[in-house]
Every structure is written in C-alpha cells, then in structure tokens.
Amino acid sequence: MERLIAELIWIALAYLIGSIPWGVVIAKMASGIDPREMGSKSTGATNVARICGTGYGVATFLLDMLKGLLPVLIGAKISSSPLFLSLTALAALLGHIYSVFLDLKGGKGVATTIGIFLAIIPGATLVGIAITLLVIWLTGYVSLGSITLMLLLPILILTKASFTYFVFALVVMLLVINRHRENIVRVIKGEENPWQRKKFQKEMGQSPS
C-alpha cells in the first residue's frame, strides 16, 4: 500500500513537472515576448528559436527534454514496473501538452517525448534522433522530423523493450502527431514555416534583428 501511494504521488508530481512552461519563461525573460502570441503560437523550442533566437530555443528544448527524462529516471528508483514508468512518463507528457499553469494548453511534446524515451531506451532513441535530424536537414522543417520520430519510436521500442512500453509508444505517437495536425496541413499546402529565424522573419515580413 505504501509503495502504491508513493507511485501515485510521483505520477502526480510528474504531471506538475511536465507542466512547467519553460518556453514561456525563457521567451519572456529573453525578449519580453509571449510565444503563445507569435509565430506558430506554440510554447515549444522551435517557436522560441524562431522568435527569440537559436540559443533560447536550444535552452527550451533541453529543459523540456528534462521534464520527460528526470521523472522516469527518478521514478525508476520507486519501481521498475513498465506500467508505472509508462504512467509516470505519460503524466509528464500530458503536463507539457496540457499545462495546469497555461489553462490546460501547452507545447507539442516532442522534446519531452525524447527525454522520456532516452530514459527508457537510450540507444534506440539516439538512432531515431539521428534519422530525425537528417529529415530536418533535408527538408528544413522541424515538424516533419518530429512526425518521423513519432512514427519510428513504436518500431524502435518493440525491438528493445516490453510490450507495455510498445503500447505506451503508440499512445505517445497518437498524442504528439495529433498536436502536429495543423503542421501537417501546412506541409501539404506548402505553407509550413521553416525553423530558421531569419528565413522565418523574412517570410513573416519582419526585419531580422
């Protein structure tokens, strides 16, 4: 019973950790800008990089990634159960996507997902990241790379981990791809924004700073 209570408390804490809106915090501190009001209006690293600069985007990405990595690594000290760790990871991801601090709104979940799977299957996740970076380099669109990674994760984890983690990866894939549905429409129409700040500003009719 005590361990069950500890697990439930940690799942709740994982949601709160995931809810920390680092993109909003960093953008406001760096430029006095609310990322929810500019660009793609996402609180994620890509939008922060576009409107504030690459360095701030990288910082956002790393902090959002830790929101997925740390709850799983710390949770493993409580229990190694794949079900418990999957629920912990899902709570962190839902916190990022539906933040209690942002009226249940938030980012698209890619960085947090990467952190989660680096904790669960680090080697296979690094392979997925390498393929993702290649897609981004070839196309210039982070959204396409992100969708590619989400499609790859269930396949990669099936060869390395338990069936529970495979089911979890499918849930994550559906959640994150759903968050990218507007990006998918823009890609199809040829209207998707590039990740580079200067190119983005040019397309938005702004002068690069």
Report residue 208's pLDDT band, with 50, 70 and 90 as the boundaries: very low
Look at the chain and report how many structural domains it folds into: 1
Residue 198 lies in a domain: no
Residue 12 lies in a domain: yes
Range in 11-15, 32-36, 83-87, 113-117 the model is least confident about: 32-36
Residue 208 lies in a domain: no
Residue 63 lies in a domain: yes
Residue 122 lies in a domain: yes
More confident residue, 29 or 190: 29
Residue 204 lies in a domain: no
Range in 125-129, 177-181, 187-191 the model is least confident about: 187-191
More confident residue, 204 or 92: 92
Residue 194 has pLDDT above 50, yes or no: yes
Residue 206 lies in a domain: no
The span from the CA of 5 to the CA of 125, in Å, is: 31
Q: Mean of the pLDDT values across residues 60-64?
A: 96
The span from the CA of 115 to the CA of 93, in Å, is: 10
Q: Mean of the pLDDT values across residues 98-123?
A: 94
User: Across the chain, what does the average pLDDT equal?
Assistant: 88
Q: Mean of the pLDDT values across residues 115-134?
A: 94
Q: Mean of the pLDDT values across residues 137-163?
A: 87
DSSP per residue, 53-119: -HHHHHHHHHHHHHHHHHHHHHHHHH---HHHHHHHHHHHHHHHHSBGGGTTB---SHHHHHHHHHH
Residue 183 lies in a domain: yes
Q: Mean of the pLDDT values across residues 191-195?
A: 68
Domain of 104? 2-192
Q: Mean of the pLDDT values across residues 120-131?
A: 93
What pLDDT sits at residue 86? 96
Percent of the chain at pLDDT > 70 equals 92
